[in-house]
Amino acid sequence: MKAYLGVDVGSVSTNVVIINDQLEVLANLYLRTNGRPIETIKKGLKEVVNKLDSDIEIAGAGTTGSGRYLAGVMIGADVIKNEITAHAVAASSMVPGVQTVLEIGGQDSKIIILRNGIVTDFAMNTVCAAGTGSFLDQQAARLNIPISDFGSLALKSKNKIRIAGRCTVFAESDMIHKQQMGHSIPDIINGLCEALVRNYLNNVGKSKEILPPVVFQGGVAANVGIKAAFERELGLPVIVPKYFNVMGALGAAQLAKEETVKTGRTKFKGFAITNLPYYTSSFECDGCSNACEIVEIFEEGKVIGRWGNRCPKWDLVES
């Protein structure tokens, strides 16, 4: 049976998905990157191959995320795509006719506007933590409450309170103030969820036409309190797809299938790469005033990829 591999390497999580020809998910995996993308990619591939039947053959591979180039040269990807494209493709397959994708991850967030299956607009937030999952993680730690309980506690709120959410520093001080005033934990948590949603819509979603169907994906979509806050704020139903936390990898796998169906071949190196040694190094190019920092990745002592150059001087020539 032919199958297709998708790998999404982000700053917080690394996700792996394998689909069949009918775009059905055969295996999926969500791992914390923990600042060690090479080790996490290898670990993910080792774990996911154990979930597959022996008669499955990987006929294509794709990568996405902030570490997509690193993952791409490691596994031998047929396609290396940005997160916007991968998330849009996955959302369209899971929710046909989707017009708005809300995506919130651990350290960034994005909104994707689709019309007739085509991305017409998007925006990303990569500079402020107040509209991301790390914001909720920080507040959960401060309240000494498991992040997994955040959503269910928010739904128990009886009184609406407003917490400043434009900045994590202001939010923390405002949250402490609300605690000192005697507000209940569910009310405070619900206020934090609404603060994140306001921040997202006022910054990432500013001036965007949000039309249904609306799909909510990314790790934060597991939080039912955030989903409920979005529905109240937008006045629209919000759909959380089954594989909400691995949608980037799912989209990468689907794009790999499209590419290899056209080419009739794959560059995928196989799961044996999990046993190979990899390491990275960098140097500064003194060829001109740009002084580019060139990053190299080595496989068994041989350079297999380079990034950071603004000219073709350090490009690798495929043999």
36-52, pLDDT tens digit by residue?
999 999 999 999 999 99
**Residue 227 falls within a domain, yes or no?**
yes
**Residue 195 falls within a domain, yes or no?**
yes
Give me the mean pLDDT over the 5-30 stretch. 95
**Residue 319 falls within a domain, yes or no?**
no
CA–CA separation, 56 and 46 (whole Å): 15
| pLDDT given for residue 165 in this prediction | 66
Starting at the edge strand that comes first in sequence, how are the strands of the sheet with 238-239 ordered?
A: 118-125, 109-115, 100-104, 214-217, 238-239
Pairing of strands 109-115, 118-125: antiparallel
Same domain, 115 and 194: yes
Same domain, 171 and 136: yes
Same domain, 102 and 197: yes
- For 139-143, 181-185, 186-190, which range has the lowest pLDDT when averaged over its residues? 139-143
Where is the domain boundary, 180, 214, 238? 238
| pLDDT given for residue 131 in this prediction | 66
Give me the mean pLDDT over the 6-21 stretch. 94
| Percent of all residues in the chain with a pLDDT value above 90, rounded to a whole number | 69
Same domain, 140 and 226: yes
Contact by Cβ (8 Å): 253, 18: yes
Domains held by the chain: number: 3
Q: Residue 319 pLDDT more than 60?
A: no
pTM of the model as a whole: 0.90
125-136, pLDDT tens digit by residue?
866 666 677 778
Same domain, 143 and 264: no
CA distances from 302 to 43, 139, 294, 308, 314 (A): 21, 45, 16, 18, 15
Same domain, 267 and 197: no
CA–CA separation, 72 and 182 (whole Å): 52
Same domain, 162 and 127: yes
Which residues make Cβ contacts (< 8 Å) with residue 118, sequence separation at least 6? none
CATH code of residue 80: 3.30.420.40
Find the Cα–Cα–Cα–Cα dihedral 66, 72, 74, 77, rounded to 10°.
Answer: 150
**Residue 196 falls within a domain, yes or no?**
yes
**Residue 233 falls within a domain, yes or no?**
yes
Same domain, 174 and 255: no
Residue 70 structural domain:
2-89+248-274
Pairing of strands 100-104, 214-217: parallel
**Residue 146 falls within a domain, yes or no?**
yes
Same domain, 129 and 113: yes
Same domain, 9 and 59: yes
Question: Residue for token digits 């036409």?
Answer: 209
**Residue 282 falls within a domain, yes or no?**
yes
Where is the domain boundary, 214, 238, 262? 238
Same domain, 205 and 223: yes
Same domain, 268 and 293: no
148-171, pLDDT tens digit by residue?
888 899 999 898 888 876 666 677
**Residue 243 falls within a domain, yes or no?**
no
